[in-house]
Amino acid sequence: MTEVIMPKMGDGMEEGTLLEWLKKEGDQVKSGDVIGTIQTDKATLELEAPGKGTLAGILLEPGKTVPVGQPIAAILKAGEELPAGWGSGEVKVAPKAEETAVETKPLATAMPAESAPNIGSTSRVKASPLAKRIAAEAGVDLTSISGTGPNGRIVEKDVRSAIEQQGTKVSAPTFTPSAPSAEDQQIKLNHLRGIIADRTQHSKQTVPHFYVTLEIDLEKIMDIREMFKAEVGGKISVNDFVIRACTLALQQMPVVNSTFKGDHLLQFGNVNIGVAAAIDDGLMVPVIHGAQHLTLRQIGEESKRLVSKAREGKLLPNEMTGSTFSISNMGMLNVDNFTAIINEPNAAIVAISSAQRKVIVNEDGDLEVRWRMNITGSFDHRVVDGAVGAQFMNVVRDYLENPTRLLS
């Protein structure tokens, strides 16, 4: 029977944007073959053929968005034809779920197909859209590169490796024109950027934010980090301390670990920390589930693992959902202070600024140079009152300025 190809992208994911077809109409495919890629708001996924036959009836062009469960192509066995009215939207196909649901699996993040430049003969080379764009910016000939992706496909790391070998410089892809122009340019949003725009706008317009900023003394944390580096040979970041401190503070003040439900608040039993991670296309928030059960070192290992997967586009659906509180860190970007937009349905988010050496007046009235850092909490006033938000931030500060309490 005809097998229908329908994206199946996991819980909470309602649509995706087709980046490209890796197989064309009329190609013979078998079960498990990668036939295309789809980008969701969380990751870029591979479309796998659900069975063996001929790829036919392609309904979706690269760059177009499709809801989960909508047919986008079919696989025909010998002697079969497409159903009457295929592509009209009126065809009702009820294939067996175990045969037709196209499994998707994460792969390296790619830019949407519409952003890939047309560079003549290289358009016939198997390469991801992001690889094509980077190659075009650096003037690298894709035909001279051997791909390490599926079926010899050229991916981003292949192009960057070639650039390093040739000594060619290339800037990271951005949403602005690469060269000045006298004419304005309209730059289409990719799928992830569109999702970010919708969600941040909705949060700012519907959630009554208020902010609390405190300055933290980091001298003791810096001493502990040096001790770990010397004695254990491992690194613990300031962000790891912040995650641990926020986790303990949320257990101490569980009202902050809640969400607004209209006529009631839902207070969560687990502390699931969302850690904002910048990627090429925008922002993702992988989630450390059950952070209250993890030690400081385990938090550091899990955070690094999730952020790395987010930047590679390999996060699984359960690693991107279920946060009860979030942390956004710009410490590596040399910022004095900033405020973060609440990641709904969380009731709060903490923004971490850069650690800096500052001259301060100590308790004895003398001048002293110490490591200091600003942190700002953004709170949903429907859930957290101003005094409660200030108390929570002071609890976090107390943990950070007495970091031996975070080591247990």
209 catalytic? Reply is no
Whose CA is closest to 338, among 372, 368, 374? 374
| Cis peptide preceding 345, ω within 30 of 0 | yes
Q: Hunting for tokens 């409660």 — which residue is that?
A: 388
Among 191, 202, 264, 381, the active-site one is: 381
- The catalytic site residues sit at 381
